[in-house]
Structure 1
Amino acid sequence: MFLVVIAVLSLILAFPEPPYSLVHDVGRVIAVATAATVVPPAVALLVTRRVRGRLDEHPGEPGIGQQTFARGLSSIHALLALGQGALLCLTDWLTLCARTPVVGRWLALPGLLSTLPFLISTLLAWIALYPADRSIRQIALELQILRGRPVRPVWPLGRYLLFNLRHQVLFILIPMLLLLATRDAIYVYEQPLRQLALRMVRGPQPGRDAARLLNGFELLPDLLLGAAAVLVALIAPLILRYVWVTRALPDGPLRDRLVSLCRRLRMRCRDILVWHSGGMLVNAAVMGVIPRLRYVMITDAMIEQLDDTKIEAVFGHEAGHVKRHHIACFLLFAFISGCVITIMRTRLAGQSELTVQLVSAVVGAGLCFKWVVLFGWISRRFERQADLFGVRTLAAAGVPCQVECALHSADNPGQGLDPLRTARPLCRTAAHIFGDTLNDVARLNGMAPEARSWRHGSIASRSRILQRYALDPQAALRFERSVRRMKLAIVLTALALGLWAAWEMNLWALARAILAAAV
């Protein structure tokens, strides 16, 4: 869901006006907005009816209903993305919101108003899905009773909506609103900002050269917005820890184990937080690129339902995203899209409207392929690599090996070496514990282990792959090398496109002139 939210808000951020305005009449625009708002909740009602029917038909096989629910969610997310994308790109909805009396005078308010159909549609879809979600979670509740673990009642509708709003919308909407306000401020105060920059470089001849270049620098607003985006990305974890209800993990044996594990992994973070979900979500997450603004979060349900060793396994998985630089690679992946758009805009300057629209459509299709296909493919491999790191973390934490494996074999000459190194084999016992942890997390969240996930892959397939890699160290090593090559390709592509975009924007000449003025 969060990718749908990002896509919709990115369109609002990127296009103050619709790029392909085909519907101009106000009545028709409102009709399109109404259709985009109503269709996903209507489909959600059908999904709920089908899920509950499947659960009633197959009471002994809840996985059938769970998979139906997962597929239904994917369909609703696709409808939300397509409907809102059409509304924003093909109608005058953005223009209508910007021209609304009073609203158009305030920073970020036109953009916020344009999100209303999406927010209302999402809220109605959640209301329609609640009975199915409740039935799925009731199954997980019965599992908790069988495990002899603490049990909390399934959340009521109000808490369900509030939780989804906080964790699927607001944690993206709030940073994006900061960027929307920045964008609007830059466009409103563009001339004063240019004058300020000119005063900074005005003076002798080098300063006049810089002033001339800066005065003709049409992409200055985009450059300033890019700098603001970097700043927001850095401070976002500080904001999100309050959007998501969290508190510091209390002192005790679990915190001591996790802090010790951080030292062992050489992973720095600002704090380890308990992520409050009302006992309904068994999950963990890591936020932040730089250590001083990085948080690792573990849900209350995970602490209640899993033993400390399995919590260490999940913690190791999240640490793997940090230690294997997945967050940085995802940011570079997004940076590549920004560079492509910048290059396209500079190259299309002065071209005919038809040429601009055709090239924009081709580039847009390419970016859709990049985010829908490539992003999912990369994400699944990053998840698998983080799983491997989680297994290695368990071995490094001292989980006793109970079966013969390549890592702890008696004739292994490198037995004392660091198990965290990618060249080292996996401990079979640690791989088994980690796979068991994945299955526990899936079932406690009401997910079928065989259910496919676009970003993560199925839990069952991830568990099987870990067992295979534990038996075949060379296969694990080949996989690690393939991911390393993939990361290198992302870095080199980002570097090449970044240099190309800087050249197209004439940043090199501007930088030389400013440096000459400073000297």
Structure 2
Amino acid sequence: TSLSMFRLHRTVRVLDRTGDLRALAAADRVLGMAPILIVAVHCWNILGMHWLDAVRALLGDMIFIDEAVATLPPLIAITLIWYAYYPIDRRVRQALLIRHLDQARPIPPSLTRWQYISLQIRHQFLFMLLPLGLILFWSELVNRWIFTDMQEAYRGALQVVGVVAIFFFAPLLIRFAWDTIPLPDGLLRRRLINMCKMHNAKAREILVWRTHGGMINGAVMGVIGLLRYILLTDGLIESLNERHIEAVMAHELGHIRRRHMPTLVALLMVCVSAAAYVLTYVAQVIWWLKFYWLVPPSISEQVTMDRLDLFITGGSLVVGLLIFGYISRRFERQADTFAVQHLSMSPPRIPPDGLLDSGTDPLAEGKLPDIRNCVITREAVMSMAGALEAVAVLNHIPPARKSWRHGSIRWRQHYLLTLIGKPCNRLRIDRIILIYQLIAVIGVILIGAAVVMDLFQQGSTLY
């Protein structure tokens, strides 16, 4: 943390003296890598250095409190990184003021350091900590206060029910944890609602995600329509033109219509479980060899077992997340494909009177043309590629920068160019994702069968 803060402070001095943008790129790399390293070190402290046990020795094993205190060090460290990055963010915002004035764009309010940190905490921490904290609280509540005499497998089933409920209702919590308001009534809202109707994509509300112009992005939260929100940031609505906003919205609707969220959750569970299954057998081989050459004789059996458990847990997470990242990038590719399919079936709106119901705008009627008669148009591809470019530029992201879950902007744009002229209903990415979804269904069935068998085996011990 100290090294990262020193590097960011040095970047501020370089920017003030020379204005070298390479220093800004280096600062962005520090901002991206520092939290990952901080979390990795904290995981080692928990698993290898028994940090949680030390906290419990001091505070006692209270429900949720000891875990919350044990989580504070990485949260404080990451907050200090944001504290050090704020002067860089402020200088970037000030440098963009002239561009905003030239383009007649709204000027976002200037943030104080504490407003900036508060914004980051709400959007970065609470997104994960709210559902994870509730899951942890429910798990300990079931284990220690509710049905304490229940068989372990049955308590596990009750925990799963609670986790599923939290997963479904988490968007309601995050919607209020983040700074969001419903998209005001107007032409844009009516067009976006008509897009939802056109694709039969149900959502509880379309929200403006207020980031004070600090983020250009869209998102979808929720699995079922009654508890699903579509979010567009204020910066995106203010900065992108109508066609680009339609492209971003179509991308988010692609996640809904192709059922990406439940499939990704299932695939993450399958990937981690499969990796743990394989690594368990690897650990058994290591255990068998430990008396021969792999593990020094001076290490006790208990220490060896602890290390093997750490190997299985950590290894399954790493392998599972690597596979998950690869699959997630393909889902983003399909969402981009869905967007150009939509744009190809919905040409640019040029009504003579500018009215929504002029008859020249497919979105005005909310009717989806027959996809079998559609081919991917150059205009649709260039609109989606342009929206991606605008998002990258306005977020100060180099188009070639790789992303674990999304891939680079350039990689996605190059793929879109290969779609021009192809039939909308016969695209390779749709067939690939169908295979992934089949794997997810089979994997969940196998995991469910294993859990049910375990329940029966433990239940038989009662008789």
TM over 0.5: yes
Residue 377 of structure 1 aligns with an amino acid whose one-letter code is: Y
Structure with more contact order per residue of length (Cα contacts < 8 Å, sep ≥ 6): 1
* 1:421-436 correspondence to structure 2 within 5 Å: 421=371, 424-436=374-386
Whether contact under 8 Å (2:135, 2:162) holds in the other structure is yes
| Alignment match, 1:79 | 37
Where do 1:302-317 residues align within 5 Å? 302-317=236-251
The one-character-per-residue Cα deviations of 1:137-186 (angstroms, maximum 9, x if unpaired) are: 44444443332211224422111101110010012112222122212212
Seen in structure 2, the aligned counterparts of structure 1 residues 427 and 397 have a Cα distance that, compared at 3 Å, is same
User: Matched residues in 2 for 1:372 and 1:232: separation?
Assistant: 22
Work out the CA distance in 2 between the residues paired with 1:499 and 1:343. 15
Corresponding residue for residue 455 of structure 2: 506
Q: CA deviation at 1:187?
A: 2.3
Aligned counterpart for 1:179 among listed residues 135, 139, 142:
135
**Aligned: 1:265 with 2:199:** yes
Q: Contact conserved, 1:426 with 1:473, CA < 8 A, in 2?
A: yes
1:403-462 deviations in Å (ceiling 9; x for gaps): xxxxxxxxxxxxxx9668599531210110111111111111222222222221221221
Where 1:120 maps in the other structure, the secondary structure is helix
User: Match of 1:99, as an amino acid?
Assistant: A
In 1, Cα distance between the equivalents of 2:13 and 2:328? 31
CA distance in 2, matches of 1:423, 1:48: 57
Deviation of 1:58 after TM superposition, in Å, equals: 6.5
The DSSP-based 3-state class of the residue aligned with 1:469 is coil
SS at match of 2:208: strand
CA displacement at 1:229 relative to structure 2: 0.8
SS in 2 for 1:286: strand
Match of 1:165 among 100, 103, 121: 121
Summarize deviations over 1:193-232 as a string: whole Å, max 9, x none: 63xxxxxxxxxxxxxxxxxxxxxx3333332222211110
Equivalent positions of 1:287-436 (< 5 A) are 287-336=221-270, 339=273, 353=302, 356-357=305-306, 359-399=308-348, 421=371, 424-436=374-386
SS in 2 for 1:296: strand
Partner of 1:451: 401
Task: Give the Cα separation in 2 of the matches to 1:437 and 1:221.
Answer: 48
Question: Where in structure 2 are the equivalents of 1:205-244 lying within 5 Å?
Answer: 217-244=151-178
Q: Is the 8 A contact 2:153 2:458 kept in 1?
A: no
Please give the secondary structure, in 1, of the residue aligned with 2:152: coil
Q: 1:221/1:66 Cα in 2 relative to 1: closer, same or farther (>3 Å)?
A: farther
After superposition, the C-alpha distances for 1:334-367 in whole angstroms (9 at most, x for unaligned) are: 433675699799999xx97467435424422442
Give the Cα–Cα distance (whole angstroms) in 2 for the partners of residues 134 and 383 of structure 1: 31
Work out the CA distance in 1 between the residues paired with 2:265 and 2:392. Answer: 28
Q: TM-score, normalization: structure 1?
A: 0.74
The verdict on how the C-alpha distance between 1:426 and 1:171 changes in structure 2, with shifts beyond 3 A counting, is: same
Once residues 371 and 345 of structure 1 are traced to their aligned partners in structure 2, the CA distance between those partners, rounded to angstroms, is: 11
1:284 correspondence with 2:218: yes
Task: Give the C-alpha shift of residue 47 in structure 1.
Answer: 4.2
* Stretch deviating more after TM superposition (176-185 or 163-172): 176-185
Q: 1:151 to 1:431 in 2, by over 3 A?
A: same
Report the aligned-residue RMSD: 3.4
Q: Separation in 2 of the partners of 1:111 and 1:288?
A: 27
- Does 1:134 find its partner at 2:90? yes
Q: What amino acid does structure 1 have at the position aligned with 2:263?
A: C
Is 2:268–2:324's contact at 8 Å kept on the other side of the alignment? no
Contact 1:52–1:65 (8 Å) recurs in 2 = no
CA contact (8 A) 1:329 1:487 kept: yes
Give the whole-Å Cα distance in 2 for the aligned partners of 1:149 and 1:99: 56
Q: Which runs of 5+ in 2 are unaligned?
A: 288-300, 351-366
Out of 419, 444, 450, the position equivalent to 1:494 is 444
The one-letter amino acid of 2:442's match is L
Q: Provide the rounded CA distance (Å) in 2 between the counterparts of 1:438 and 1:79.
A: 29
3-state SS of the aligned residue for 1:219?
Answer: helix
Deviation at 1:48, TM superposition (A): 5.0
Matched, 1:45 2:6: yes
SS at structure 2 position matched to 1:455:
coil
Matched, 1:150 2:106: yes
Contact preservation (8 Å) 2:372, 2:423: no
Identity of aligned residues (%): 30
Counterpart CA distance in 2 for 1:298 and 1:159 is 21
1:253 Cα deviation (Å)?
A: 0.7
Instruction: Tell me the residue number matched to 2:360.
Output: none
Q: How does 1:59-70 map to 2 (within 5 A)?
A: 62=21, 64-70=22-28
What letter corresponds to residue 37 of structure 2 in structure 1?
L
Distance 1:346 1:364 in 2: 9
Q: 1:97 aligns with which of 49, 55, 58?
A: 55
Change (3 A) 1:226 1:427: same
Q: Is the deviation greater in 116-125 or in 489-498? A: 489-498
- Tell me: CA distance 1:295–1:420, structure 2 relative to 1, closer, same or farther (3 Å): farther
What is the aligned partner in structure 2 of residue 253 from structure 1? 187
Change in CA separation of 1:421 and 1:159 when aligned onto 2, cut-off 3 Å:
farther
The answer to whether the Cα contact below 8 Å between 1:313 and 1:434 also exists between their aligned partners in 2 is: yes
Query: 2:291 — aligned with what?
Result: none
Q: Secondary structure at the match of 1:460?
A: helix
Contact 2:371–2:424, Cα closer than 8 Å, also in 1? no
The superposition leaves residues 77-126 of structure 1 with CA deviations (integer Å, 9 ceiling, x where unpaired) of 2311221111111123212222334x644x31111111110111111111
Aligned residue pair count: 430
CA contact (8 A) 2:388 2:409 kept: yes
In structure 2, the CA distance between the partners of 1:56 and 1:333, relative to structure 1 (3 Å rule), is farther
Tell me what 2:434 maps to.
484
**Do the aligned partners of residues 140 and 498 (structure 1) sit closer, same or farther apart at CA in structure 2, a change above 3 Å counting?**
farther
- In the alignment, residue 295 of structure 1 is paired with which amino acid? Y
1:377-407 alpha-carbon deviations (Å, 9 max, x no partner):
1121111111111122223333269xxxxxx
Can you list the C-alpha shifts for 1:270-307, whole angstroms capped at 9, x where unaligned?
11111111122111111000110000011112121122
DSSP-derived class of the 1:175 partner: helix
Q: Normalising by structure 2, what TM-score?
A: 0.82
Give the AA of the match of 2:448: G
CA contact (8 A) 1:281 1:445 kept: yes
Partner of 1:207: none
Q: Does 1:468 align with 2:418?
A: yes
Distance of 1:482 and 1:167 partners within structure 2: 33
Aligned partners of 2:347 and 2:217: how far apart in 1? Answer: 23
Q: Where do 5+ consecutive residues of structure 1 fail to align?
A: 1-39, 195-216, 402-416, 514-519
